[in-house]
Amino acid sequence: MWFNNRGWLHTIFSKLVIAFLLVVTPLYGIGLLMNKQGEKSVRSEVMNSLQSRVNYYIQSLETDKQHMVSMMNQLAVDRDLYHLTYASEYMKINEWSDAVIRLENRMRWMKESSLYIESVSAHMLTIGRTISTKKSITDQLNEYHPYSEESEAIAERTFDYWDNRLFLGLNSPDSEVVQNKPPSFVLQIELNLPGLRKALKHAMDYEQSGAVLMNLRQQWEVANMSDEPQMAHLKAYLQQLDSQDHENIGTIVMEGEPYLIAYKYSGQLDSYLIMYVPQRQLFGQMNSYKELLWVLSLLSIIVILLYSYWINRLIRKPLKTLIRAFGKVEGGNMELASLPRSKDEFRYLFQHYNRMVERMRVLIHEVYEQTLRVQTAELKQLQSQINPHFLYNTYFILSQLASIDDNENVRRFSQHLGEYFQYITRSAANEVTLASEVNHTRTYVEIQSIRFLNRIQVEFPELPESCKDLLVPKLFLQPVIENAYQHGLESKRKNGEIAVGFELQTSKVIITIADNGETLTDEKLQQLDESLQRQGLDNEYSGLLNVHRRLQLMFNHHGGITVARSARGGLQVALHIPLSNEGGRRAHVPSIDR
């Protein structure tokens, strides 16, 4: 069926899906583009935020370091420290005690001024004693990091790593000021590493993230215990950086997981501050949103398919019913279609379809009756055209036979002529049995044999028994024999031949009439064949065309005439008479005259 054999792309369902996709796809594309732009913007903001955090913390450390250096410089010129270092033995006990207390208070104030200071110490080398915030003045020097005159940490005022501790130191007098003279005292600030680690830990609030202060030149770093697995990766990353690359954001894979890192080098601290965070912590939510977007896209497609399927069923079911109804009408079944239960446009369409079918029933009945009348009138006209053909010569022949006193032939001729006209005028029926038509044609052949004085021999076998009761048009066979006499053999003076044959096939019987006429050319044969095919007019063969038309009218174009050149050299006419027409009905049209 056409409805089911169409390609999928030509169905309503596919068109609905494509229409929905055409509407949704641009909106989805815009949403996806906005999501990409948003993701890009968020990534940029996150990276800028991470770099800003690095800048803030390293600036904070630099500020604290500058504060420490400033306080050490002020302490280096403290009067009490000078008195204790250079004039301790000349001071009274109460003056000495007051100086120690004031120096301790000043050093304690220095310690309390910064969270990153663990202790402040003054090692007075001249008297071999130490004052620190951890202990009061001692009787001997405490252990301290010995700074040489060439110490870079002293010269550049940077942190120095010693004994797993970080120090900021100051020699007095400075070797740059006083050449070749050992320092009289050494000031040291020990950094509070736990506090610094805590501050670095609070710098990043993501899981598995961290911050590290790393000095590549002195090979030290300040990091939490949780940062230990990442140290080697971070150190290798920094070591491969360009010497001019002091600040940037990059990615690194540590322990099989991608991290986003931001770093900055501080010349004051001679160290890098590195902050790192797993990308899944920063962008995991965006990735989940991306996954949700794909899930939403899949759900949207499913919804589109389901909605299209529902709309398709809503439209296709009544449409399919209507198409089936049209198929039935095309096959000749004029049944009315059942109205759908829904009161929508399809119900209106079905109502008008049923009205159309009812109207077609009326029109077909009217056309059928009119067609029967036209066919009957045409058959009557064709019959009236055939009947006069034989009258022209019969009386002339009878007159000649009487004039020569050939009474026997007059009797025979009169008997055959009576039978001939009796057959024609006996009934107004348009259909007769094939046996009656063959007997009438034999009578006509007998009459012509008397006329042509045996110049033409006719072979006329017996009709098969199974074909005798077949209904055929009246007077369809005799005009074909007459055509052979008139156009094929009339000019032949002797040895004329006409052969009649009956061939019974499965679905039809074929009657052949062949002559040995000599006037048929190939051009005339082709012209006759074309006239039969287009049912045109040909005066010479009007009898054959009339018979062909009558057979087609009676047998609904399943019957008719075909022509060819016979084995005898003349024309061979084959009359095709179906035993039954399509549908198993009898191969005839009922006569209205009956």
Alpha-carbon gap, residue 525 to 565, rounded angstroms: 8
Cis bond before residue 173 (omega within 30° of 0) = yes
- What is the DSSP secondary-structure string of 115-128? TTEEEEEEEETTTT
Alpha-carbon gap, residue 442 to 17, rounded angstroms: 75
Q: What one-letter code names the amino acid at 47?
A: M
189 backbone dihedrals φ, ψ, rounded to 5° = -115, 115
CB hemisphere CA count around 551 (13 angstroms): 28
H-helix segments, 88-136 = 93-112
φ/ψ region of 461 (left if φ > 0, alpha if ψ in -120 to 50, else beta) reads beta
* pLDDT at residue number 554: 82
Alpha-carbon gap, residue 580 to 556, rounded angstroms: 11
Alpha-carbon gap, residue 369 to 83, rounded angstroms: 146
Q: How would you classify the pairing of strands 129-132 and 117-124?
A: antiparallel
Q: How would you classify the pairing of strands 271-278 and 456-459?
A: unpaired
- Nearest CA to 188 out of 236, 119, 237 is that of 119
- Which residues does the chain have with pLDDT short of 50? 1-5, 148-151, 155, 385-387, 539, 581-594
Helices (H) and strands (E) in the chain, counts: 15, 17
DSSP 271: E
Q: Which two tokens stand for residue 526?
A: 């082709």
Are 443 and 450 in contact by the 8 Å Cβ rule? The answer is no
* pLDDT at residue number 592: 30
- What is the DSSP secondary-structure string of 215-237? ETTTTEEE--GGGHHHHHHHHHH
How many Cβ atoms from other residues are within 10 Å of residue 277's Cβ? 21
Q: What one-letter code names the amino acid at 110?
A: M
**What 3-state DSSP class applies to 482?**
helix
Are 564 and 572 in contact by the 8 Å Cβ rule? The answer is yes
φ/ψ region of 344 (left if φ > 0, alpha if ψ in -120 to 50, else beta) reads beta
- What is the DSSP secondary-structure string of 188-220? EEEE-HHHHHHHHHHH--STT-EEEEEETTTTE
- What is the DSSP secondary-structure string of 323-367? HHHHHHHHTT--PPPPPPSS-SHHHHHHHHHHHHHHHHHHHHHHH
H or E stretch at 82: helix 79-86
- Cα Rg of the chain, angstroms: 63
Token pair 């009326």 in the structure block, residue: 362
φ/ψ region of 253 (left if φ > 0, alpha if ψ in -120 to 50, else beta) reads beta
